[in-house]
Structure 1
Amino acid sequence: MAVSVRDVAVAASVSVGTVSNVLNRPDKVAAETVARVLAAIEELGFVRNDAARQLRAGRSRSIGLVVLDAGNPFFADVARGAETRAQEDGLSVLLGNSDDDASREAGYLDLFREQRVNGVLITPASRTADKLARMQDAGTPVVLVDHEIPGSRFCSVSVDDVEGGYLAVRHLLEIGRRRIAFIGGPASIAQVANRLQGARRAVDERADASLEVIEMPALTVLNGRAAGEALVERAVRPDAIFAANDLLAVGLLQAFSMFNTLRVPEDIALIGYDDIDFASATVVPLSSIRQPAQLIGHTAVELLLRSISDPDGDYERNVRFRPELVVRQSTSG
Structure 2
Amino acid sequence: MLRSASIKDVANHARVAVGTVSNVLNNPDRVSPRTKDRVLQAIEELGFVRNDAARQLRAGHSRTIGLIVLDVGNPFFTAVARAAEDAAALHGSAVLLGDSGHDAGRESGYIDLFQEQRVQGLLISPVGDVEERLDQLRERGVPTVLVDRLADDASYSSVSVNDVEGGFLAARHLLDIGRRRLAFVTGPTSVRQFADRLEGARRAVADVSGASLEVVESDGQTVLAGRGMGDQLVGRSADKIPDGIFCANDLLALGVMQSLAMTHTFRIPEDVALIGYDDIDFAMSAVVPLSSIRQPTEAIGRTAIELLAEELDETHPRHRAVVFTPELVVRQSTAGAAV
Coarse TM-score class (shorter-chain normalised):
over 0.9
Residue 302 of structure 1 corresponds to 306
CA shift for structure 1 position 222: 0.8
Runs of 4+ in 1 over 3 A off after TM superposition: 30-36, 310-313
Q: Is the 8 A contact 1:183 1:213 kept in 2?
A: yes
1:137-157 Cα deviation digits (max 9, x unpaired): 232111100001322511100
Structure 1 residue aligned with 2:195: 193
Counterparts of 1:182 and 1:325, CA distance in 2: 17
1:246 alignment counterpart: 250
User: Match of 2:106?
Assistant: 104
Does 2:43 align with 1:30? Answer: no
Q: How is 1:74-89 mapped onto 2 (pairs within 5 angstroms)?
A: 74-89=76-91
Matched to 2:55, the amino acid is: R
| In structure 2, distance between residues paired with 1:261 and 1:326 | 26
Corresponding residue for residue 292 of structure 1: 296
What's the counterpart of residue 212 of structure 1? Answer: 214
Which residue of structure 1 lines up, in the alignment, with residue 326 of structure 2?
323
SS of equivalent to 1:274:
coil
Q: What SS class does the counterpart of residue 193 from structure 1 fall into?
A: helix
Cα separation, 1, equivalents of 2:194 and 2:247: 10
Matched residues in 1 for 2:57 and 2:146: separation? Answer: 27
Q: Is the 8 A contact 2:66 2:122 kept in 1?
A: yes
Q: Is the 8 A contact 2:310 2:316 kept in 1?
A: no
| Count of residues in correspondence between the two structures | 332
| Distance in 1 separating the partners of 2:49 and 2:314 | 34
Q: Which amino acid aligns with 1:226?
A: G
| Cα distance change of structure 1 residues 16 and 312 upon mapping to structure 2, 3 Å threshold | closer
Q: Does 1:258 align with 2:223?
A: no
Q: How does 1:110-189 map to 2 (within 5 A)?
A: 110-189=112-191
> Is the contact between residue 61 and residue 117 of structure 1 (CA under 8 Å) also seen in structure 2?
yes
For 2:100 and 2:52, the matched residues in 1 are separated by: 27
Match of 1:2 in 2: 4
Asked if residue 61 in structure 1 is aligned to residue 41 in structure 2, the reply is: no
What is the deviation of 1:258? 2.1
Cα separation, partners in 2 of 1:245 and 1:25, compared to 1, 3 Å: same
The letter for the 1-side match of 2:59 is A
Aligned-partner Cα distance in 1 for 2:170–2:34: 64
- Unaligned runs of 5+ residues in structure 1 are none
Distance 1:258 1:155 in 2: 45
Aligned partners of 1:124 and 1:226: how far apart in 2? 26
Deviations 1:235-255 (A, max 9, x none): 120001000000101111111
- Which letter does structure 2 place at the counterpart of 1:128? V
Instruction: For residue 334 of structure 2, give the secondary structure of its aligned residue in structure 1.
Output: helix
Query: Does the CA-based 8 Å contact 1:102-1:127 persist in structure 2?
Result: no
Given residue 118 of structure 2, which amino acid in structure 1 is its aligned partner? R
* TM-aligned CA deviation for residue 311 of structure 1: 6.7
270, 273, 276: which one aligns with 1:272:
276
Matched letter for residue 199 of structure 1: A
The change in CA–CA distance for 1:32 and 1:286 in structure 2 (over 3 A counts) is farther
CA contact under 8 A between 1:232 and 1:261: conserved in structure 2? no
Deviates more, 1:131-140 or 1:230-239: 131-140
Q: Tell me the secondary structure at the aligned position of residue 264 of structure 1.
A: coil
Q: Shift of residue 126 of structure 1?
A: 1.4
2:311–2:319 CA contact under 8 A, matched in 1:
no
Q: Matches of 1:202 and 1:209 in 2, distance apart? A: 9
* Range moving further from structure 2, 302-311 or 172-181: 302-311
Letter in structure 2 aligned against 1:139: G
How large is the RMSD of aligned CA atoms in angstroms?
A: 1.5
